[in-house]
């Protein structure tokens, strides 16, 4: 293991991954294009991001997005929300190391449940019927005029206790492989 392209990122010793940094995504956001086992994240997310807790996406083990789409940090006070997500993720990584877990990724079921939960928040606001950055709308690009939820709208007072409960239940919703 060693630094990747001078960015200080440590790359796992496997041949299945590729990482490109700071690649523009078609809706104006910047994200990391990641490929694992032949599947590209940009292809999986072509109709909008799919995550569990805004932290990981099924099929891409050990890839964490601390302030990514659909995370609890996007619609709240950003710095403390990112800090809370970072601390929680550090605790998860410590749990993985302590239990010799080699890969961690959400289950497809957890990802679908999260999709339903964060999408429901849109229908409580005007954003559910708007065309904006929050719904990944981009009139400048063909095919980017459909509703694709990007932001988790529940308050931090709901998000943080749910994260604690997930950890207390052995990181429920994540598949941990030794």
Compute, in degrees rounded to 10, the torsion defined by CA atoms 35, 41, 46, 52. 160
Q: Which architecture does CATH list for 3-177? A: 3-Layer(bba) Sandwich (3.50)
Domain ranges of the chain: 3-177
pLDDT in tens, the chain (178 residues): 334 444 444 444 443 444 433 334 444 444 456 777 888 888 888 788 889 999 999 999 998 888 878 887 766 777 888 888 889 999 999 999 999 999 999 999 999 999 998 888 888 888 778 887 777 777 777 777 777 787 787 777 888 899 999 999 999 999 999 9
Here the tokens at position 36 are 């694992």
- Report yes or no on whether pTM surpasses 0.85: no
Residue linked to tokens 């308050």 = 155
* 119-to-9, 16, 59, 79, 175 alpha-carbon distances in Å: 32, 32, 21, 23, 23
């Amino acid at each position: 293991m060693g630094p990747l392209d001078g960015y200080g990122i440590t790359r796992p010793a496997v041949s299945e991954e590729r990482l490109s940094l700071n690649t523009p995504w078609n809706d104006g956001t910047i994200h990391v294009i990641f490929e694992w086992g032949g599947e590209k994240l940009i292809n999986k997310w072509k109709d909008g991001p799919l995550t569990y807790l805004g932290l990981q996406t099924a099929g891409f083990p050990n890839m964490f997005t601390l302030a990514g789409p659909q995370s609890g940090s996007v619609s709240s006070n950003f710095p403390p929300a990112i800090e809370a997500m970072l601390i929680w993720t550090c605790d998860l990584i410590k749990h993985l190391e302590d239990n010799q877990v080699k890969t961690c990724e959400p289950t497809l079921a957890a990802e679908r449940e999260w999709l339903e939960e964060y999408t429901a928040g849109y229908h409580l606001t005007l954003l559910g019927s708007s065309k904006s950055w929050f719904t990944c709308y981009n009139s400048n690009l063909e095919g980017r005029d459909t509703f694709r939820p990007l932001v988790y709208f529940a308050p931090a007072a709901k998000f943080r206790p749910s994260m604690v409960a997930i950890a207390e239940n052995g990181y429920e919703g994540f598949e941990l492989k030794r």
